[in-house]
Amino acid sequence: MKILRVFILLIFSSVCYGAVEYKKFDTPQQEEVYKVLIEEIRCLVCQNQTIADSNADLAKDLRRQVYEMLQQGKTKQQIADFMTQRYGDFVLYNPPFKAKTGLLWIGPIAFLLIGLIMLVLFTRKKKALDKCDVSETDMKESAEKKAKVRALLTKGDQL
Amino acid sequence: MLKYLMPLVLFAVMAVFLALGLNLNPRDIPSPLIDQPAPDFALPVLGQPERTLNKTALMGDVWLLNVWASWCGSCRIEHPIFNQLAKKKLVTIVGLNYKDEAPAAKQWLAQLGNPYNISVMDQEGRTGIDYGVYGVPETFVIDKKGIIRYKHTGPVEYSDMQNILIPLIKQLKAEAS
């Protein structure tokens, strides 16, 4: 039980080894936006890390870019737009919903729906089959067959 | 019959998708800058730091922007290709010396040859960000109007030069400015 608990805790733990950088902000709101943004922008060198996690040179440069734009009074949306104009939607962990990214957003839901429909169809078919097995004629037939077999067996014993 | 064919069909579909996935290069991120005006820059020239070059100086002709650095291993691989291309005198080749030190960059060119008509220094990587650079080397083909028409990520190989770059440069040269 203890081991299970440890496993569950490990699953939900997140490893944090992001670079510690000293950045001075004018307002706590600005710092909050900074933290959110660097968690949402992908480091394109080490593609499965955010720029907050990555220590790559490009990640550092992009963090600096985000910081400077915030200092200039740019909004979160303006900074996200700046990044996508240069690196494409791939740079955002939360890409906007549009024709190009449609499959990405709808895909999982579509697969789930297909799976559910298949499940319903299969279980229905199975139920129908189960019902056939216990139809009255079947019962009668099998009872007749059983009697026949028994008769044959007893006959054999007598021989 | 359908019952037995279904798994085979499913397997075939999956195999096709997996094969496609294997052949995709995750580093090849389509650039949103294609068919967009090349971002402007004003950067010091390598070897003449008092001189700055900007995009307007290059307008009116087709040019290549090759992002390179002396610390970049793959740049060494593509360098002979650019030396070959430079010998053909087909196109202006501008080097964007990315996050590098001038002495190291100069030594690199002295050692391996200098295919660039001019190299500019982007020591802070800001022009790199404007061009969406994420992996050096990268090569941009820019037309007479200053529009980015093609981007190559990673080292340019001989076949890339012959089959993609040279035909494209010739085509763009024929366009009106």
pLDDT digits (tens, 9 = 90+) for B110-142: 999 999 999 999 999 999 999 999 988 999 999
Query: Could you tell me if A44 and A88 lie in one domain?
Result: yes
In a domain, A8, yes or no: no
Residue contact A57–B125, C-beta within 8 A: yes
Write out chain A residues lying below 8 Å of B29, CB-based. Answer: 44, 87-88, 90
CATH number of the domain enclosing A38: 1.10.8.640
Residue contact A47–B30, C-beta within 8 A: no
Q: Does ipTM exceed 0.90?
A: no
Q: From the centroid of its chain, how far is CA A1?
A: 27
Across the interface, which of B30, B124, B129 has its CB nearest the CB of A86? B129
Query: Could you tell me if A81 and A115 lie in one domain?
Result: no
In a domain, A114, yes or no: yes
Query: Could you tell me if A83 and A108 lie in one domain?
Result: no
Residue B148: exposed, middle, or buried by beta-carbon count in 10 A (0-12, 13-18, 19+)?
buried
In a domain, A4, yes or no: no
Domain range enclosing A64:
16-96
Residue contact B32–A65, C-beta within 8 A: no
Q: What is the pLDDT of residues B65-99, one digit of tens each?
A: 999 999 999 999 999 999 999 999 999 999 999 99
Chain A interface mutation, best of B29, B72, B123, B133, highest count of A Cβ atoms under 10 Å = B29
Torsion sign, CA atoms A22, A25, A28, A33: negative
In a domain, B12, yes or no: no
What confidence score (pLDDT) does residue A134 get? 60
Query: Could you tell me if A33 and A91 lie in one domain?
Result: yes
Of A73, A96, A119, which marks where a domain is finished?
A96
Q: Could you tell me which residue, B174 or A155, shows the higher pLDDT?
A: B174
> Which amino acid is located at A129 in the chain?
L
Query: Could you tell me if A106 and A150 lie in one domain?
Result: yes
List Cβ neighbours of B175 (8 Å cut-off, separation of 6 or more).
B143, B144
Query: Could you tell me if A22 and A49 lie in one domain?
Result: yes
CA distance to partner chain A, nearest, from residue B168 (Å): 23
What confidence score (pLDDT) does residue B75 get? 94
Tokens of B59: 């307008």
B165: which DSSP letter?
A: I
Average pLDDT score over chain B: 92
Nearest CA in chain B to A90: B29
**Count of CB pairs separated by less than 8 Å, A with B:** 36
In a domain, B122, yes or no: yes
Tokens of A55: 């220590």
In a domain, B1, yes or no: no
Considering the entire predicted model, what is its pTM? 0.75
Tokens of A108: 């999982």
Give the separation between CA B148 and CA B128, rounded to whole angstroms.
14
Residue contact B125–A45, C-beta within 8 A: no
CATH number of the domain enclosing B114: 3.40.30.10
In a domain, B28, yes or no: no
CA distance to partner chain A, nearest, from residue B132 (Å): 5
Residue contact B29–A58, C-beta within 8 A: no
Query: Could you tell me if A21 and A88 lie in one domain?
Result: yes
Q: How many domains does chain A have?
A: 2
Query: Could you tell me if A125 and A64 lie in one domain?
Result: no
List Cβ neighbours of A90 (8 Å cut-off, separation of 6 or more).
A42, A44, B29
In a domain, A7, yes or no: no
Nearest CA in chain B to A66: B129
Residue B5: pLDDT over 60: yes
Which of B17, B61, B22, B49 is CA-nearest to residue B175? B61
Q: What is the pLDDT of residues B148-168, one digit of tens each?
A: 999 999 999 999 999 999 999
Query: Could you tell me if A152 and A85 lie in one domain?
Result: no
Residue contact A84–B32, C-beta within 8 A: yes
Which of B70, B64, B129 is CA-nearest to residue A45? B129
Does A28 sit behind a cis peptide bond, omega within 30 degrees of 0 on the bond before it?
Answer: no
Residue contact A88–B134, C-beta within 8 A: no
Q: Taking residues B94-111, what's their average pLDDT? A: 95
Write out chain A residues lying below 8 Å of B30, CB-based. Answer: 88
Write out chain A residues lying below 8 Å of B27, CB-based. Answer: 47
Residue contact A58–B33, C-beta within 8 A: no
What confidence score (pLDDT) does residue A144 get? 87
Give the separation between CA B119 and CA B65, rounded to whole angstroms.
9
Q: Check: CB of residue A51 under 8 Å from CB of residue A43.
A: yes
Does B7 sit behind a cis peptide bond, omega within 30 degrees of 0 on the bond before it?
Answer: no
Query: Could you tell me if A61 and A131 lie in one domain?
Result: no
In a domain, A69, yes or no: yes
Q: What is the pLDDT of residues A92-112, one digit of tens each?
A: 988 888 877 888 888 899 999
Residues lower than pLDDT 50 in chain A: 16, 18-19
Question: Which residue numbers of B have CB closer than 8 Å to A's CBs?
Answer: 26-27, 29-33, 99, 124-126, 128-132, 134-135
Query: Could you tell me if A108 and A52 lie in one domain?
Result: no
Write out chain A residues lying below 8 Å of B74, CB-based. Answer: none
Give the separation between CA A85 and CA B32, rounded to whole angstroms.
6
Residue B39: pLDDT over 60: yes
Query: Could you tell me if A90 and A128 lie in one domain?
Result: no
Q: How many domains does chain B have?
A: 1
**CA-atom Rg of chain B in angstroms:** 20
